[in-house]
Chains A and B, each alone.
Chain A
Amino acid sequence: MLRYILFRLLQVIPVLLGTTFLIYFMVFAMPGDPILAMFGDKTPDPTVVERLRAEYHLDQPFIVQYLLYLKGVLVGDFGVSFTGQPVSEILARTFPVTIKLAAMAIVFELILAIGIGLISGLRKGKFFDNINLIIALLFMSIPIFVIAFIAQWGLGIKLGWFNPTVGSGAPIQDLLLPAIVLGVSLYATSMRLTRASVIDTLNQDFVRTAYAKGLRRGRVVPVHVLRNSLIPTITNTATDFGILMVGATVTEGIFNVPGVGNALFQAIIKGDNSLVVSFVTFMVLIYLGVNLIVDLLYAVLDPRIRYA
C-alpha cells in the first residue's frame, strides 16, 4: 500500500512538468499583447510599453520565460500578476473559497444522489422511481447557467431567501445558493449510478443470505446494500470535484464568487501568463490528489480491492 502511494506521488512530477510546459506554451502562443491591453483605446508611448514588457520578461523568447518561471516556482516564487500582486497570494485567497464551494456542492450532490438513488433503487419501477428518473433527465439536460439564473432570480431576488451574490469573505450562508445549484446540476449522474448499483446489489446472494439470517431491512439496507453500492457513486463524485475546481467558472461568475474560476477567467483575458499557469498547475495537483484519495477509498469500501 505504501509503495503504491509513493509511486502515485512520483507520477505527479512528470505530469506537472508536462502540464506547465504545455499551458505556458499555449498561453504564449495566444495572439495579442497583454501590455497593449492595459492601455484601452489609447495608443501608449513605446518606451513605457518596452519597460513594462521587460518587467514581465515578455521581451524574452518563450523558452527563457518558461525557465524563469520554473526557476521561480522551485524557490516558491510564483511571480507577480499584472495587477502587482504576488501570484501565491492570489492562489491563497481564491483556492480556499472554491474548495469550500466545491465541498458544499459535493455534500448536496451526495445527499441527493445517495438518498434519492437508494429509495429509487429500492422501489424500482414504482411511481417514485419513474418520476425521479424524469426529473433527473431534466436536470441533466438543462445547462447550468440556466439553473443558476433561475435560482438567483427566483430564490434570491423574488423570494429574498438568499443573497443573490456572494458577499465579502464568502460566508457559508452566501455560498449555499451556488452550492445548491452546482449540487443539483451534478447529482443526476451519481443518482443513477447509485440506483443501478443498489438494484444490482439487492439481487446478490449475500443480501439474500442476510435477510435469510433474519436481519431486518433497517440493517440490511444501510450496512450491506448501501455500502456495497457506493463505489461507482464515489468515483463519479470525485470526478465531479475535479470538474468543480476547474469548471465552476460560469457559476462563480453569476454569483460573483471570489474564487478560482473567476480569477482564472480574468487572467486569461488579460494574458497574465504566470497567473494562468500557476492556476492550472494547482488545478492539476488537486485533480491528482482527489484521484489518489478515491483510489484509497476503494480499499476502505471494499476489502477485495487491495493494492499490493
Chain B
Amino acid sequence: MKRSRIGTGVVALAAAGALALSGCSSSGGGTDAGGGDSSAIITTNGSEPQNPLIATNTNEVGGGKILDLIFAGLVYYDADGAPHNDIAESIESDDAITYTIKIRDDATFTDGTPVKAENFVKAWNYGANAANAQLNSYFFEDIEGFSYEEDVEELSGLTVVDDTTFTVKLNKAASDFPLRLGYSAFYPLPDSAFEDMDAQGENPVVNGPYKLAGEGAWQHDEQIELVVNEDYNGPRVPQNGGVTIKFYATQDASYADLLANNVDVVDQIPETQLANFESDLGDRAVNQAAAIFQSFTIPERLEHWSGEEGDLRRKALSMSINREQIVDKIFDGTRTVASDFTSPVIDGWTDSLAGAEVLEFNEEEAKKLWAEADAISPWSGTLEISYNSDGGHQAWVDAVANSASSVLGIDVAGKPYAKFDVLREEVTNRTIQTGFRTGWQADYPGLFNFLGPLYATNASSNDGDYSNPEFDALLQEGSVDTDLESANAKYQQAQEILLEDLPAFPLWYQNVTGGYSENVDNVEFGWNSVPIYYEITKG
C-alpha cells in the first residue's frame, strides 16, 4: 500500500492519481495489426523515486512504477487486477495458513544467476527484519515469526525446500495471500544485493521484462532509462524497445509535454486541466475509476458521535451530502460516486449492498434522523472536517460542508492543515478533535485490503478506532475461506455492517486521468492506475 500518498499533494500530488479501471476501454486505435517498432522507446511521466530501488523500502508511486517494470515477482496482475503466474508455477494451500510455492527453474537475474526459491526467502527476510527499518515491512506481518519490536533475521514461517520450492507459514489464515504476491514488496533479490545493498538500490540487478539501460541509467531528478531485458522469459513480453520515465516536478509540465507529443503516456492530468483534457486529447484521453477510495472519518470518541445518537447522526450526515453534484462541479466528473467501501476495479465489488441508500442524497430523511438524534442529546458547536491544504482537498471539503450545513442547518466547516504530515501526526496521536479526511489506495486488488487494515479492531490504519465484533468475525471468516467467491461474499456482508455504523463516510472513488500521444497505440491502464507499459506499441 504504500504506494499511496493520497494526501501529500504537491509533488506527486495525488500521485495516487492514477487510474485503473477494470473496464479498460482505453486503448484508442489499439489493435492495428500488431504494428509498432519493437525497438521504439516509450516515454512516460514519473517522479524521482524517494528511496533507492529496493522493493521492500519503496512505498510510493514514483519508485513503484519502476520496480514493477524491472522485476518479476511470483505473480503479476493483468489490467483487471486478476493475478497470473510469472515466476511462480503454483501456489497452493489447503488451510489458507501454509502455502507451498513452486517456481520456474528457467528464470535468471541480469547478472546471469538463476532465480531460486532462496532469492525470495532472503529478500522477504530482509524486508521483514525490523533492523532494516523497511517502509514495507508490515507486508510480512502475517508470516510466522514476524516481529515489529525484535530484530528477526530469519522468519520461522519461511522454509526453502529445494531450489524451486519454498513454503510460507502464516500466523493467521489469509485466503487472499496469493493475491498479495504481485505487490513489489514480495519481489526477489539477487545474491549480490546482500553483499552491497546500496549498489543494488542504485543500479539494480533485476529479473523483469525491462532492465536499466546501463550504469547510471537512473539520472536523478531527471529520468531513468529502461530497455528490454532479453533474458526475461516470462509472460509480460514487451512490445517496444524500452521505457524512459521522465521525472516531472509538476503535473502541468508533463501535460504540456503531452500536448506537444513530447512524451508518450501520462497517467496524471493536473487539476487545472481536468475541465478540458478530454476535449484537448479526444479519444486519447483516459478517465476511469481507480483502486482509490476516498472518505472522511469522525472518531467515535468525539462527543455526539457514538451510541444510538451517533448512529443517527452518521446516517443523517451521510445523506446530507450531495455526492453526485460535488463530483460533477468540483471534479469535472473525474471521480466516481462511492457505493461501498472498496473500489469498482476490485473483483467482488458490488453497488447493491444492503443499506447502501445511506450514501444517497436524501434531504428529508437526513433532517428527520438528525432531529431524532437531537431528541436524545441536542447538537451543539461546529462540525469540522480537517484536511491538508497541500493536496487539493479544500474545494471538496468546503462543498461537503456546505451541503451538510444547508441540509442539517448546523455549522459545518473545513479545517485546513498546511501540510499533510501535520494532519497525519494529529491523526496518528489521536489528538485530533474533529472529523478528518481519509483515503486508501489498494496495495493489491482484493476486497480485504480495503477493509481489514482500516476497520478491523486495532488495525494499523484504523484511524477512527472503530470496533465491531460482528464485523471482525465476518472478516475472519473471509480470511480462512479459500474459495474466493464465498470469501468475497463474507466481505460484502462485512461491508453491510459498515454501512450501518459508518465509521468512515464513503465519498467517491478517485479516477485515473491520463492520456497518450499521437505516436503510441495499445495504451491500457492497469487496476492500480499505472499504464501497462509492456503492451504499448509505437511507430
Interface residues of A (CB under 8 A from B): 30-34, 36-48, 51-52, 55, 82-85, 89-90, 93-94, 152-153, 156-157, 160, 163-165, 167-169, 252-256, 258, 262-263, 265-266, 269, 271
Contact = CB atoms under 8 A, between A and B. Distances in A.
A84 B52 contact: yes
A45 B138 contact: yes
Contact of B148 (A32, A47, A256): A47
B89 interface: no
B487 to A, nearest CB: 23
B2 A165 contact: no
Q: Is the interface of B mostly helix, strand, loop or mixed?
A: loop
Interface in B34-63: 48-52, 59-60
Contacts of B257: 163-165, 256
B223 A36 contact: no
Contact of B219 (A39, A52, A160, A168): A168
B253 A42 contact: no
B253 A165 contact: yes
Interface residues of B, number: 61
Interface of B: 1-8, 10-11, 48-52, 59-60, 130, 133-135, 137-138, 148-149, 201, 219-223, 246-250, 252-254, 256-257, 259-260, 262, 390, 418-422, 424-425, 428, 438-441, 453, 460-461, 463
A32 B201 contact: no
A38 B249 contact: no
A58 B254 CA distance: 35
A144 to B, nearest CB: 15
Contact of B59 (A32, A40, A52): A40
Contact of A43 (B7, B10, B248, B460): B460
B250 A253 contact: yes
Given A37-B420, A45-B148, A253-B253, A83 B460 contact: no
22 contacts: A30-B419, A31-B418, A33-B422, A36-B421, A39-B135, A40-B7, A40-B60, A41-B424, A41-B438, A42-B460, A43-B460, A43-B463, A47-B149, A52-B133, A84-B52, A163-B260, A164-B256, A164-B260, A165-B256, A252-B249, A254-B252, A269-B10
A44 to B, nearest CB: 8
A256 B148 CA distance: 40
A299 B138 CA distance: 66
Given A45-B138, A55-B133, A253-B253, A36 B425 contact: yes
A163 B246 CA distance: 14
B134 A82 contact: no
B256 A153 contact: yes
A11 to B, nearest CB: 33
Contacts of A256: 248-250, 253-254, 257
A132 B440 CA distance: 56
B271 to A, nearest CB: 15
Contacts of A271: 419, 421
Nearest to A31: B422
Given A39-B2, A40-B1, A45-B138, 8 more contacts: A33-B422, A51-B130, A153-B256, A160-B260, A164-B253, A256-B253, A266-B11, A269-B419
A52 B135 CA distance: 10
A109 to B, nearest CB: 24
Nearest to A252: B249
A167 B221 CA distance: 11
A270 B285 CA distance: 32
- From B7, B418, B428, B460, residue with most partner A Cβ within 10 Å: B428
Nearest to B135: A38
A258 B51 CA distance: 18
Nearest to A257: B249
